[in-house]
Amino acid sequence: MKIDVYVMVYNEEFLLPYFLKHYGSFAQNIYAFYDESPDNSRKILSQHPKVTIFDLKEHGLNEGYWISKLWTKYEELSRGKADWVVLVDADEFLYHPNLMEVLKREKKLGTQLIQPQGFTMFSETLPTTTGQIYDEVKNGLPDYWATQCVLFDPAIYIRFRNGCHSIAELQGNTSFKKGEEIGVKMLHYRYFGRKYLEDRDTKNFSRYFIGVPLPTTFAIMRWKNKKHQLPDKTRGNRYEWFEKHKSEAYNVVDNMTTSKYILNKYQLKKNQSRHKLYRSREGSLSVLFRELGFNLGAEIGVGAGKYAKFLCAMNPNLKLFAIDAWESNDDLYNRAKARLESFNCKIIRDTSANAAKKFADNSLDFVFIDAGADYKSTGDNIKEWSKKVRKGGIIAGYNYNNELSGQPNGVKKAVSEWVKKKKIRPLFIFNKDAGPTWFYAKGTK
């Protein structure tokens, strides 16, 4: 994979060594738009073998110049020469623990535009590590404004609005993917204590540009007193917002327990036993499996294979066991077989109880139970198949709290009794579908 990085640089001598260590580890070229900063930024850039410096002809915070003349240079420098380009500021770090593998896979799948999931990072002290900055500063909070479509195939035509926060023009039929679907993040390192943030703003926004350069003192005053767009999409004083929310930051870099990941992802309270979210199994649960790196799973009760196909299509690395007896229903079996034949899916035509004996305990990342909506079948399936899922994996199922043919549904009762008996919490429920989905992470109480 050939990656080109485009970065705007002004007064970044502290973060630049970390920036270059990170992007220099995988980029083929780093194109730096340099704006006459009074610090050592230029010297640091000039000493890196992958960096090409472009001195700006128009200075200051001139967004119109940047989006029309600078960010468009990817067409000249990277089109036909790189697989991906990323447009960033020097405090923005594109991150995935296996970034090159992910980009290689997405390229193969035909993805052309990725919107990394943005996080504002928090630390009360400056990093001191000689390694990667995210090895030391790991805590952050979701940042709406750092969630930008800045990672793309240079073959496409794309134009941005100010700040690259939204797209102004985009060629039709562009294949798009959200970063949260594939675990690609943008880590925005700007808060290392309030003093650091205020001092950095004082330096950077002394060159505030609104048509013509403003006097330095007026520019700084204007910036500090304005209502800013904040990471949670509200508006207000940015310094007060950071002070208020810094205690809520959590580890967004390392792998964490499955339940904690889900709680953080959906910003849920940690002390509740149940969480209901207006989401679907197709649009959310299958994506969650992929984000968690679940590559080995089983669906119990396959029917015509529609959801099994969806699971496989949403996670190209998944090996799925499709288990159903298809009793006296060869037509449904043949439809499922045809639907799943192009995926890494092994069909097991047998009863749930017999099929469970073929799997070792703690061997699966997840099971999805959709075999019958009666109390006994659901309870038996949970009991047998939960053994087959490893710690940190997910046990899930369909038809929670749904009544069929006017008869009380046994799924809710069976699930409720199981989680109470095993002291499992939290239980998650996606209730957008007619038959809500229930699930929990194994090993978390």
207-259 pLDDT tens trace: 654 444 555 555 556 656 667 789 998 999 889 999 999 998 988 887 667 88
The contacts of residue 21 (CB under 8 Å, 6+ apart) are 131, 132, 133
pLDDT the model gives residue 35: 86
State the amino acid at position 134 in one-letter form: Y
pLDDT the model gives residue 444: 47
* DSSP for residue 398: S
Just give the CATH number of 3-251.
3.90.550
pLDDT the model gives residue 210: 43
pLDDT the model gives residue 365: 92
pLDDT the model gives residue 224: 62
pLDDT the model gives residue 437: 95
Parts of the chain with a pLDDT under 50: 209-212, 403-405, 444-445
Are 227 and 240 contacting, i.e. CB atoms less than 8 angstroms apart?
Answer: no
What are 71's two structure tokens? 């960010």
Domain with CATH 3.40.50.150 in the chain: 258-442
Where in 70-116 does DSSP place strands (E)?
84-89, 92-95, 113-115
The CA distances from residue 381 to 17, 100, 336, 355, 403, in Å, are 54, 39, 21, 11, 19
If we measure between CA atoms, which residue out of 94, 290, 316, 97 comes closest to residue 181?
290
Where in 176-334 does DSSP place strands (E)?
176-178, 185-191, 209-210, 212-213, 228-229, 235-236, 250-251, 274-277, 296-300, 319-324
Just give the CATH number of 258-442.
3.40.50.150
CA pair distance 145, 50, nearest whole angstrom = 28
> Could you tell me whether strands 296-300 and 364-369 are parallel, antiparallel, or unpaired per DSSP bridges?
parallel
The CA distances from residue 17 to 13, 14, 31, 43, 128, in Å, are 7, 7, 15, 11, 12
Helix (H) or strand (E) holding 152: strand 151-152
First to last CA, the chain: 42
If we measure between CA atoms, which residue out of 102, 170, 168, 116 comes closest to residue 145?
116
pLDDT the model gives residue 435: 86
If we measure between CA atoms, which residue out of 181, 106, 191, 97 comes closest to residue 143?
191
